Amino acid sequence: MVKIFIGSSSNGEDAPIEAVYEHTLRQNCPDIDITWMRQERGEFWSGYQTHTWPTPFSGFRWVIAEACDFKGRAIYTDCDMINFKSMEELYNIDMQGKPLAARKGQRFGGHEFCVMVIDCEKFQEYAIPASRVRNISETHQRMINKFSGNDALVHELDPKWNCLDGEDYELDDIYQLHFTNMASQPWQPDWFTGAPEPHRRQDVVDLFYKKSEAATKAGYPVDNYMI
């Protein structure tokens, strides 16, 4: 069973993409256990101080190993994604003994942690207890500083597992599409307060609407993801 933890906004602001994402995940990997990490959903995900987090769920990724009792593996992703390849392949990659796997990138100083494989047992050595993460919002940035750019602790993923707004890839070559520029996300979540921008690739926008229609027809209506 592939365990995947998805960071999500608290009040259903990202419901349109969440419906698409779950539909595509289950299409490509039926044997999957999905946890939607939302503030105030269950005791473990409640009471976090988030005022310095870039998104409503940024710091949750660092307590996933504890949520798994520091056993086995887990995948973390943001919710603003469309999947095209079985997550089982990502789940079973050779991490070469490292606690984390993520693609290289410069936004966070060396690695992009919006798609991440976690070896929960190995991560325990570096974990900050959830009780501290809950009360000290700056722990998110501290963990970014600890891991990003540290090749001794982070195994490099193929960037197609976290393809930022399509980059320069053909759509058929992407494993996991990430709508990473919040200003140009087609569904325009209410929690984003910046100025909206047009997406740099119209084919990516068209794909979102096509997949959204398919998700609704397959039994994944947006209303199911509203809080």
* DSSP string for residues in the chain: -EEEEEE--TTSTTHHHHHHHHHHHHHH-SSEEEEEE-TTSSGGG-S---TT-SSTTGGGGGGHHHHTTT-SEEEEEESSEEE-S-HHHHHT---TT-SEEEEEETTTTEEEEEEEEEEHHHHGGGPPPHHHHHH-TTHHHHHHHHHTT-TTTEEEPPGGGGEETTTT--GGG-SEEE---GGG-TT--TT--S-----S-HHHHHHHHHHHHHHHHTT--GGGG--
Q: How confident is the model at residue 220 (pLDDT cuts 50, 70, 90)?
A: very high
Does the pTM of the predicted model rise above 0.85? yes
pLDDT of residue 109: 83
Mean pLDDT of 203-215: 98
**How many CA atoms does the CB half-sphere of 74 hold within 13 Å?**
24
Distances in Å between the Cα of 51 and the Cα atoms of 46, 58, 183, 196 are 14, 10, 20, 22
pLDDT tens across 154-174, in order? 999 999 999 999 999 999 999
Q: What's the CA gap between 185 and 208, in Å, rounded?
A: 10
Indicate whether 42 pLDDT > 80: no
User: How far is 74 from 94, CA to CA, in rounded Å?
Assistant: 14
The residues pairing with 112 across neighbouring beta strands, listed in sequence order, are: 103
Predicted confidence (pLDDT) per residue in 121-156, tens digit: 999 999 999 999 999 999 999 999 999 999 999 999
Q: Quick: pLDDT tens for 93-108.
A: 999 999 999 999 978 7
Tell me the average pLDDT of the chain. 95
Contact 108, 144 (CB under 8 A): yes
Q: Residue 206's pLDDT is what?
A: 98
**pLDDT for the residue numbered 189:** 87
Confidence class for position 39, pLDDT limits 50, 70, 90: confident
Rounded to 5°, the CA angle 109-57-144 comes to 20
pLDDT of residue 87: 98
Spatial separation of the C-alpha atoms in residues 189 and 156, rounded to whole Å? 30
The phi-psi region of residue 122 (left if phi > 0; otherwise alpha if psi is between -120 and 50; otherwise beta) is alpha
Q: Which two tokens stand for residue 171?
A: 């759509």
